[in-house]
Amino acid sequence: MKLARAIVIFATLPLVAALGGLLMIVFADETQWGYDGDQGPERWSALAPEYLLCGEGKAQSPIDIRDAVAADLVAIEFHYGETANNIFNNGHTIQVDIDPGSHIVYNGIAYDLLQFHFHAPSEHTIDGEAAALEIHFVHKDRNSNNLAVVGILLSEGDSQNEAYAPIFDRLPADVSAPEATGEPLALDTLLPEAQGYYTYQGSLTTPPCSEVVRWLLLDTPLELSTEQIAAFTAIYDANARPVQSLGKRDLLRDAR
């Protein structure tokens, strides 16, 4: 049922077509793209006319985080509740779709949490160094097509991360439709206690690379166990777009 619904939404709503890369509704997308060879990031802009920004955009993501300017930034207000563990493998990553109700407020704008998904290694780097994984919490402005994506770097630690265990214990190896499994997820437990961040204006990191994203990369990483990281990389060991040029964009860091 949910697979059929995803296909109908993708085919009929211009909004989803515009945001399709990050929303990861890929079941009805006839244009094949990937992370290596003729379908890899260097070729995305040539695969379809709607992917042109992947090669010609001036505000692309991810980037290398360095020389960020300290600024008095507003706090990200997280209003996260519970969601069913609607986990699935969309052919590019492992994703969890979020039940309605959770959102953030940033600069006075409310953004509803739609989904989160993972990349290995991290797409954003810090002074040229990648983390083992990166998670993206994807939010949409209630009044526009703009997105706010909260990124968190995930590094290797000594013990299992219990908050993430319900996800990493159920990673689907095969492409699938969303299906609620296990206990509900308490979304606020998936965040670090310290929530300082870097921010810049950027894009989706997957086709069509639309430049509609306010990136909010938390500066405190979380740790997963070696086994948790290995469970993901056994399925996707290289689903990260290379870093893009910052160009003339501002890169700010929370000075609090």
SS3 assignment, position 246? coil
Q: What does the buried/exposed string (b/e) look like for 141-153 if buried means 16 or more CB atoms within 10 Å of the residue's CB?
A: beeeebbbbbbbb
Considering Cα of 200, then 116, then 35, then 50, what sign does the dihedral take? negative
SS3 assignment, position 228? helix
Beta strand 125-126 with 129-130: parallel, antiparallel or unpaired?
A: antiparallel
Residue 92 annotated in active site: yes
Task: State the DSSP string of 143-195.
Answer: TSS-EEEEEEEEEEESS--TTTHHHHTS--SS----EE-SSPEEGGGGS-S--
Catalytic residue among 92, 117, 119, 124: 92
Give, as one character, the DSSP assignment of residue 42.
G
- Say how many CA atoms lie within 13 Å of 223 toward its Cβ: 7
231 phi/psi in degrees, rounded to 5 = -65, -40
Beta strand 69-71 with 252-254: parallel, antiparallel or unpaired?
A: parallel
Q: What residues act catalytically? A: 92
